[in-house]
């Protein structure tokens, strides 16, 4: 496994929620990070059918354009009753004609599809959040770190924190949704809870020498 030698990386994302979450995870390790938006990089077309593929597309685009190692996240919600959908197309269910994203709409679509599938009981509404971090160097070499969090989808949505589908996702072992948790609770300090915190913990252990 190739190690991260420098302390400057590019976070290959234009998603403000992801940037804030990754930024909070990176900060304790003394990394200097800029976003793809800081370099005015265009968002590459995500043509992969797996999280790892799309994470690589984003990370390699940023790394090759800046000459710096780039860290990307591709994540999504996989719903058992929907055959794993929306999966890599999670953000697409929120897409608006003007290019913006409406996750209230995305959650409504998810609930409608669950209703069509007859998934009304908690044990029929199981889902998992998946996060794949890809650290890519300008020469194309990449390392991957995958985190998952299992849970149940609730309706109506609850809570005002977090982003994306957080208001309808209640992680296993908890009685509140991600959106009802504080950032500290969601990150699970000392015991990662969120899918992104779990993938980042693997990244930190491997790349930053966290003990």
Stretch 176-191: mean pLDDT: 85
Q: 138 pLDDT exceeds 90? A: yes
What is the per-residue pLDDT across 34-61, written as a single tens digit (0 to 9) for each? Answer: 888 889 899 899 999 999 999 999 999 9
Grade residue 210 by pLDDT with cuts at 50, 70 and 90.
low
Cα(140)–Cα(48) distance, integer angstroms: 17
Question: Catalytic residue at 102?
Answer: no
CATH topology classification for 8-207: Maf protein (3.90.950)
Domain ranges across the chain: 8-207
Q: What is the three-state SS of 136-185?
A: ECCCCCEEEEEEEEEEEECCCCCCCCCCCCHHHEEECCCCCCHHHCCHHH
Lowest mean pLDDT segment, chosen from 62-76, 80-94, 109-123, 174-188: 174-188
pLDDT in the model for residue 15: 75
CB atoms within 10 A of CB 2: 13
**Among 74, 80, 98, 123, which one carries the catalytic annotation?**
74
* Structure-token pair, residue 83: 């055959």
* Structure-token pair, residue 180: 């009802």
What is the per-residue pLDDT across 1-31, written as a single tens digit (0 to 9) for each? Answer: 888 887 788 999 877 777 777 777 777 877 7
- Residue 209: φ, ψ to 5°: 70, 30
Q: 211 pLDDT exceeds 50? A: no
Q: Which of 91, 86, 196, 42 is nearest to 133 (CA)?
A: 196
Write the burial class of residue 115 (CB in 10 Å: 0-12 exposed, 13-18 middle, 19+ buried): exposed
Grade residue 190 by pLDDT with cuts at 50, 70 and 90.
low
pLDDT in the model for residue 165: 96
Task: Judge if pTM exceeds 0.75.
Answer: yes
Pairing of strands 126-136, 169-171: unpaired
Q: 164 pLDDT exceeds 60? A: yes
């Amino acid at each position: 496994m190739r190690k991260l030698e420098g302390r400057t990386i590019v976070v290959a994302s234009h998603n403000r929620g992801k940037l804030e979450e990754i930024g909070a995870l990176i900060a304790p390790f003394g990394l200097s990070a800029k976003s793809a938006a800081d370099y005015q990089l265009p968002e590459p077309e995500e043509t992969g059918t797996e999280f790892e593929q799309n994470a690589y597309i984003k990370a390699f685009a940023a790394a090759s354009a800046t000459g710096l190692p780039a860290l990307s996240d591709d994540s999504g919600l996989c719903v058992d009753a929907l055959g794993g959908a929306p999966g890599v197309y999670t953000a697409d269910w929120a897409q608006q004609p003007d290019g913006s994203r409406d996750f209230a709409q995305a959650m409504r679509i998810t609930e409608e599809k669950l209703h069509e599938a007859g998934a009304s009981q908690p044990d029929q509404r199981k889902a998992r959040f998946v996060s794949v971090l890809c650290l890519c160097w300008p020469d194309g070499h990449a390392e991957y770190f995958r985190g998952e969090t299992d849970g149940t989808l609730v309706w109506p949505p609850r809570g005002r924190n977090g982003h994306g589908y957080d208001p309808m996702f209640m992680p296993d072992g908890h009685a509140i949704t991600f959106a009802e948790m504080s950032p500290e609770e969601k990150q699970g300090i000392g015991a990662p809870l969120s899918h992104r915190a779990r993938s980042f913990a693997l990244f930190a252990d491997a790349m930053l020498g966290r003990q």
